[in-house]
Amino acid sequence: MKKILSLIIVMSILLSMGVQSFAAVNEIHSGEISPRYISLMSIASGLDIDSLGIAECKANMSHRSSDGSCKLTMKLQKSNSSSWSTIATWSKEGTYTCENSKLRAVSSGTYRLCVIGKVYDSSGNFVESETIYSPTKTY
Protein backbone atom coordinates (compact mmCIF):
# COMPACT_ATOMS: atom_id res chain seq x y z
CA MET A 1 0.00 0.00 0.00
CA LYS A 2 2.87 2.39 0.82
CA LYS A 3 4.41 1.77 -2.63
CA ILE A 4 1.16 2.64 -4.39
CA LEU A 5 0.66 5.77 -2.30
CA SER A 6 4.27 6.85 -2.94
CA LEU A 7 3.86 6.25 -6.67
CA ILE A 8 0.66 8.33 -6.76
CA ILE A 9 2.35 11.22 -4.93
CA VAL A 10 5.41 11.15 -7.22
CA MET A 11 3.24 11.05 -10.35
CA SER A 12 1.11 13.94 -9.06
CA ILE A 13 4.20 16.06 -8.42
CA LEU A 14 5.68 15.27 -11.85
CA LEU A 15 2.43 16.04 -13.66
CA SER A 16 1.92 19.32 -11.84
CA MET A 17 5.48 20.45 -12.69
CA GLY A 18 4.86 19.86 -16.39
CA VAL A 19 1.64 21.86 -16.37
CA GLN A 20 3.23 24.79 -14.53
CA SER A 21 6.18 24.80 -16.90
CA PHE A 22 3.90 24.83 -19.94
CA ALA A 23 1.80 27.67 -18.53
CA ALA A 24 4.91 29.77 -17.88
CA VAL A 25 6.12 29.35 -21.47
CA ASN A 26 2.75 30.41 -22.87
CA GLU A 27 2.60 33.50 -20.66
CA ILE A 28 6.11 34.67 -21.54
CA HIS A 29 6.17 33.91 -25.27
CA SER A 30 2.46 34.03 -26.13
CA GLY A 31 2.87 30.71 -27.92
CA GLU A 32 5.43 32.10 -30.36
CA ILE A 33 9.20 31.91 -30.30
CA SER A 34 10.98 34.59 -32.31
CA PRO A 35 14.39 36.20 -32.34
CA ARG A 36 14.90 39.44 -30.47
CA TYR A 37 16.23 42.39 -32.41
CA ILE A 38 17.69 45.69 -31.30
CA SER A 39 16.03 47.83 -33.97
CA LEU A 40 14.71 45.55 -36.72
CA MET A 41 10.92 45.19 -36.58
CA SER A 42 10.21 42.99 -39.60
CA ILE A 43 11.84 41.43 -42.64
CA ALA A 44 10.19 39.31 -45.32
CA SER A 45 11.00 37.71 -48.65
CA GLY A 46 8.97 36.25 -51.46
CA LEU A 47 9.76 34.41 -54.68
CA ASP A 48 7.36 33.33 -57.42
CA ILE A 49 8.19 31.92 -60.85
CA ASP A 50 5.48 31.95 -63.50
CA SER A 51 4.94 29.44 -66.31
CA LEU A 52 7.11 31.52 -68.68
CA GLY A 53 10.13 31.43 -66.36
CA ILE A 54 9.83 34.97 -65.02
CA ALA A 55 10.92 35.13 -61.38
CA GLU A 56 9.28 37.81 -59.25
CA CYS A 57 11.52 38.67 -56.30
CA LYS A 58 10.06 40.71 -53.43
CA ALA A 59 11.39 41.81 -50.06
CA ASN A 60 10.64 44.38 -47.39
CA MET A 61 11.85 45.40 -43.97
CA SER A 62 11.21 48.02 -41.31
CA HIS A 63 12.97 49.15 -38.16
CA ARG A 64 12.24 51.08 -34.97
CA SER A 65 14.76 53.90 -35.27
CA SER A 66 12.90 56.96 -36.58
CA ASP A 67 16.13 58.75 -37.51
CA GLY A 68 18.10 55.74 -38.75
CA SER A 69 18.28 54.10 -42.15
CA CYS A 70 18.14 50.65 -43.70
CA LYS A 71 19.60 48.74 -46.63
CA LEU A 72 17.82 45.79 -48.21
CA THR A 73 19.73 43.43 -50.49
CA MET A 74 18.06 40.68 -52.53
CA LYS A 75 20.07 37.84 -54.06
CA LEU A 76 18.38 35.47 -56.47
CA GLN A 77 20.16 32.15 -56.08
CA LYS A 78 20.12 28.95 -58.15
CA SER A 79 20.85 25.52 -56.76
CA ASN A 80 23.90 23.73 -58.14
CA SER A 81 23.27 20.31 -56.56
CA SER A 82 25.20 20.88 -53.31
CA SER A 83 25.49 24.69 -53.18
CA TRP A 84 23.78 27.93 -54.22
CA SER A 85 25.13 30.44 -56.72
CA THR A 86 23.91 34.03 -56.91
CA ILE A 87 22.65 34.93 -60.38
CA ALA A 88 21.30 38.43 -59.66
CA THR A 89 21.66 41.00 -56.86
CA TRP A 90 19.64 44.14 -56.14
CA SER A 91 19.92 46.62 -53.28
CA LYS A 92 17.74 49.43 -52.05
CA GLU A 93 18.15 51.93 -49.22
CA GLY A 94 15.53 53.74 -47.20
CA THR A 95 14.83 55.55 -43.97
CA TYR A 96 12.22 53.76 -41.83
CA THR A 97 11.31 51.05 -44.36
CA CYS A 98 12.85 49.42 -47.41
CA GLU A 99 10.92 47.61 -50.12
CA ASN A 100 12.10 46.07 -53.37
CA SER A 101 10.50 44.11 -56.18
CA LYS A 102 12.31 42.88 -59.30
CA LEU A 103 11.66 40.57 -62.24
CA ARG A 104 14.24 38.25 -63.77
CA ALA A 105 13.99 35.60 -66.50
CA VAL A 106 15.30 32.21 -65.30
CA SER A 107 16.11 28.87 -66.91
CA SER A 108 15.00 25.51 -65.54
CA GLY A 109 16.21 24.76 -62.03
CA THR A 110 15.56 25.36 -58.35
CA TYR A 111 15.76 28.89 -56.95
CA ARG A 112 15.54 30.79 -53.68
CA LEU A 113 15.72 34.44 -52.70
CA CYS A 114 18.29 35.45 -50.09
CA VAL A 115 17.36 38.72 -48.37
CA ILE A 116 19.80 40.67 -46.21
CA GLY A 117 18.47 43.55 -44.15
CA LYS A 118 20.83 45.98 -42.43
CA VAL A 119 19.93 48.76 -39.99
CA TYR A 120 22.04 51.87 -39.34
CA ASP A 121 21.65 54.57 -36.70
CA SER A 122 21.35 58.31 -37.38
CA SER A 123 25.15 58.64 -37.61
CA GLY A 124 25.39 55.87 -40.21
CA ASN A 125 26.82 53.34 -37.76
CA PHE A 126 25.83 49.72 -38.28
CA VAL A 127 23.27 48.49 -35.72
CA GLU A 128 22.27 45.00 -36.85
CA SER A 129 21.73 42.67 -39.76
CA GLU A 130 19.45 39.74 -40.55
CA THR A 131 19.52 37.25 -43.43
CA ILE A 132 16.47 35.24 -44.45
CA TYR A 133 15.65 32.90 -47.34
CA SER A 134 12.44 32.37 -49.26
CA PRO A 135 11.08 28.88 -49.76
CA THR A 136 12.58 27.26 -52.85
CA LYS A 137 10.79 27.37 -56.21
CA THR A 138 11.44 25.04 -59.14
CA TYR A 139 10.92 25.97 -62.78
Task: Give the residue extent of every domain in the chain.
Answer: 1-34, 40-138
Architecture, CATH, for domain 40-138:
Sandwich (2.60)
Q: According to the model, what pLDDT value does residue 23 have?
A: 33
Could you report the per-residue pLDDT of 11-21, keeping only the tens digit for each?
A: 566 555 544 33
Q: CA 78 to CA 126: how far, in whole Å? A: 29
Strand-pairing partners, residue 58, are 46, 101
Stated pTM of the model? 0.72
> What mean pLDDT is predicted for residues 85-94?
96
